[in-house]
Structures are given as C-alpha cells and as structure tokens.
Amino acid sequence: MLVVGYFFLRSHSLDLTEQSTQYLIATRNGASQKVSTYFNNLDAEVVGFVHSELAYSSGGRFYGLIDAFRRLGENVEESREIGQKRYIPGSGDVISQPTTRESSNYVGVERYRLIHARYQNTFLDLLKRSDFDDILLVDLDGNVAYSALKNDYYATNLDSGRYHNSELGKLFESLKSTMSNKQKDLLDYNDLVLMSDFSQNTGKDINQKVVWFAAPIIQQATCTATPLPVCL
C-alpha cells in the first residue's frame, strides 16, 4: 500500500510539474506574441508617419523645418548654438532666449519661428494619439533640426556632438549605413524602420528607459527618429 501510494504521489507530482511547465510556456509565448505585435504596430506607425504629408512638408529641405533650421545662423554651427539656447529644454515651444529685431540673425530666427508654429501643434496632437514621447527631424548631416519636446538632444549633431555615442547617435549612423550599403531603388526603403537598444531617457523622467525608432523620409532625403518610452 505504501509503494502504491508513493507511485501515485510521484505520478501526481510529475503531472503537476508538467502542467505548470506547460502553463509557463504558454504564458511566455502569449506574452512574447503580445510584445511582438506591439512593436510591429509601432513600426507601422513610423512607416505611416514618414509617408504622410506632414512628414513631407515639415521635413522639406527647401521650405520646411530642415532648411529653416540651417538658416538660423550664418552657418550650421551657429544655427545649432542658437537652437540650443532658444527653447527651455523639455518645454516644447517655450522661448528661453528671445531674438530682437536688431539681431543680425533675426530674419532666420523669425522664419524658423513661423514654420515651427505651423507644425508644432500638429506634431503634439500626433504624439497624443500614439505611444511615442517625441518626434525628431534629423537632416542628412546629423543635425537635429526639430524636436516636438525640445529635449537636450535638440539642435545637436548626432554625427559629431555629445550624442554621437548614444543609442540615438548609433541608430542614426546605422540608418545612414543601411541606406548607403543598399544600392537599390528608393521603393526598397519604403518600409525601412530601425530600432535602437534600450537606453536612459534624457527628458524629464531620467529614470525612464527608452528605445528609438528611425526611418527615412525618402522624398525629401531627410531622416526622422522617434523615441518610444518603455517602462521596465
């Protein structure tokens, strides 16, 4: 009777172990599928944005924010300096250092202000409807010409500035490398979206982990990058 009881108990324990294992595997697979679906949806959002009229017009090299940013100063170095000083970091559009009419760069700053005002609210509305925290427009030289929130990376250069070795800088370099190595038709880049590794947030919540997505705006030969907040 003792032997029978032992085998029964052992068999029952093995069944419970197997059931627990199968449950954990199913839970893991289910969670993995949810994460995969979530990130696929984010990819689709990025692709949708880079093919939108908002992306084409705001990222225009000659009439959009990209061109206006480069005209803030006499050269791109001065433009970055003006951009970094102009807004309160993280504020979106609160002016920190106004430019007077007597300033030599008044025309360039005013032009950027008007174009920025044209698109800022639209970008903010887009962010409210998505899981993204910010949207950046980056020119081919790595200059962050626009940021909806104006965090610390705004008006820096991702190729040579202080964010060069950050995940954002590495992602921009990877995007440029991917496009330069693929000698294909531009249509092959229509669905190109790259994602960075997780990194520390540079915005208001420095304890937050973020991951960056980047995709090219082909028609205007600019790049856009959008950070996604992920809490771990």
Nearest one of 66, 93, 201 to 149, comparing CA atoms: 93
Give the torsion through C-alpha atoms of 165, 166, 169, 171, to 10 deg. 120
193 φ/ψ sector (left φ>0, alpha ψ -120 to 50, else beta): beta
* The pLDDT of residue 207: 66
**How does residue 97 score in pLDDT terms, banded at 50, 70 and 90?**
confident
Confidence (pLDDT) at 153: 94
Cβ neighbours for 91, distance < 8 A, ≥ 6 positions apart: 149, 150
Flag the least confident range among 70-79, 93-102, 134-143, 216-225.
216-225
Backbone angles phi, psi at 66, to 5 degrees: -60, -50
Region 158-184 average pLDDT? 86
Domain spanning 53-230 has what CATH number? 3.30.450.20
As a whole number, the mean pLDDT across the chain is 82
Lookup: tokens for 103: 């300033």
Residue ranges per structural domain of the chain:
53-230
pLDDT at 7 over 60: no
pLDDT for 15 beyond 70 = no
Predicted pLDDT at 34: 77
Tell whether the model's pLDDT for residue 204 goes beyond 70: no
For the cut 50, the answer to whether the pLDDT of residue 220 exceeds it is no
- pLDDT: which is higher, 230 or 2: 2
Rounded Cα distance, 210 and 153, in Å: 14
pLDDT at 230 over 90: no
Q: Would you give the distance in Å from CA 199 to the centre of its chain?
A: 12
Q: Which residues contact 173 (CB under 8 A, 6 or more apart)?
A: 158, 159
Residue 118 pLDDT greater than 90, yes or no: yes
Residue 100 pLDDT = 87
Residues 223-229: what's their mean pLDDT? Answer: 58
